[in-house]
Amino acid sequence: MNRIVISLFVSIVVVFPHAALSAKFQRPNMANLNLFTWDGQSNPSRARNKCLKMYDGAKGSPAPYNFNLSVTPQALPSGGYSNSTFWLINTADDSLALKVTLSLSRNGSSYDVLAPGAPETGLVGTDCSQSNIPVYLKADVAAADAYRVLAGTYKTKFEVKTCAENSSSYGTACKTDKNDVSVTLVVPPLIQVSNLNDLDLGAYFSTGLAPAGDDICVYSNTGAYQLTVTGTAGTAPYGATDFVFGGDVLPYTIKVGDSAASANRGAVQNGVAETGMSTGQAAGAYDVNCTANNAYIEASVLQSDLDGTPAGNYLDTITVTAIME
């Protein structure tokens, strides 16, 4: 007797209504952070916000899910700058760079500092058409850093990337800002003279007076400058007036230098600019307060003028002016 064995395999497939889901993962568009032209005093700062439409849920009631966000520079300055810091690059010379701090906030008040390429996790996406939960991105430049760079325009484009965290539909999918984020700051030409002190020649009896010199600080973020020393009496070419009895004038000479303790540029004329002077500060290391003074001014009186001037107390006020070349 022959037997026939029939095997029946039944496969049951359950179809979930994927069409009912409205899961989206959009590119962010944080907009540019233009810091404009620096005023030479404040710490340049600007924040922009954007609602990121990232949710994973039913069409009628989207359920926000977590995502992370990272910022990476498109290019680094040449010349050995650290890749652990964000930099704005001089548009005329990519070997010059200005440090910028990028940070992110979930509420517009408390910011977390970002590191290049490192994700800020646990951000919440939403449906921007129903609720507006923005993410804030901010750029900051310290005035102390802005003083240290050559005048010019500093700019860098940064790639902003977001990645899903624990998304049922998208896993760890990532997208980047289609426009990138550009940060720009213009550092204008700046100059300053500081550390000026009185020049006291002392008391004259019968022997000559030693010159009175003073090291000063000249800051210019263009490097080159002109220095003008203007006196009030204006004779021979400078003159100190007897401020007790009046009338008598003691001629004196002013010499200047563009290095400390040196009158290397020689004597100057009253009110006439000495050109082609240099701060001696290197690009990328300009110091508004001069770690070490970098210029010199000196007053001296000839023995013959001392002998030919009546006794008295002689005083002159000079104005030291620096302008950029």
Tens place of pLDDT per residue across the chain (325 aa): 444 444 444 444 433 333 333 345 555 667 789 999 999 999 999 998 887 766 665 545 556 667 888 999 999 999 889 999 999 999 999 999 999 999 999 888 899 999 999 999 988 777 676 666 778 899 999 999 999 999 999 999 999 888 877 766 666 678 888 788 999 999 999 999 999 999 999 999 888 899 999 999 999 999 999 999 999 876 678 999 998 888 899 999 999 999 999 999 999 999 999 999 999 998 888 999 999 999 999 999 999 999 999 999 999 999 999 999 8
Q: How confident is the prediction for the chain on average, in pLDDT?
A: 86
CATH number at residue 242: 2.60.40
Is residue 240, in this structure, part of any structural domain at all?
A: yes
Is residue 9, in this structure, part of any structural domain at all?
A: no
Amino acid at the residue 220: S
Same domain, 167 and 314: no
Contact criterion met (CB below 8 Å) for 208 and 303: yes
Contact criterion met (CB below 8 Å) for 252 and 300: yes
Spell out the residues 6+ positions from residue 32 whose beta carbon is closer than 8 angstroms to its own: 48, 181, 182, 183, 184
> In this predicted structure, what is the pLDDT of residue 196?
97
Is residue 11, in this structure, part of any structural domain at all?
A: no
Is residue 211, in this structure, part of any structural domain at all?
A: yes
How long a stretch of residues is the chain?
325
Counted domains in the chain: 2
260 Cα distance to chain centroid: 27
Is residue 36, in this structure, part of any structural domain at all?
A: yes
Same domain, 169 and 204: no
Six token digits for residue 271: 């009110």
CATH number at residue 164: 2.60.40.2040
Residue indicated by tokens 């959009």: 26
CA distance 123 to 93: 37
Domain residue limits at 141? 18-187
Is residue 282, in this structure, part of any structural domain at all?
A: yes
Find out whether the peptide bond into 237 is cis, omega within 30 degrees of 0: yes
Contact criterion met (CB below 8 Å) for 158 and 102: yes
pTM: 0.83
Same domain, 106 and 231: no
> In this predicted structure, what is the pLDDT of residue 206?
85
Same domain, 128 and 180: yes
CA distance 297 to 196: 9
Amino acid at the residue 25: F
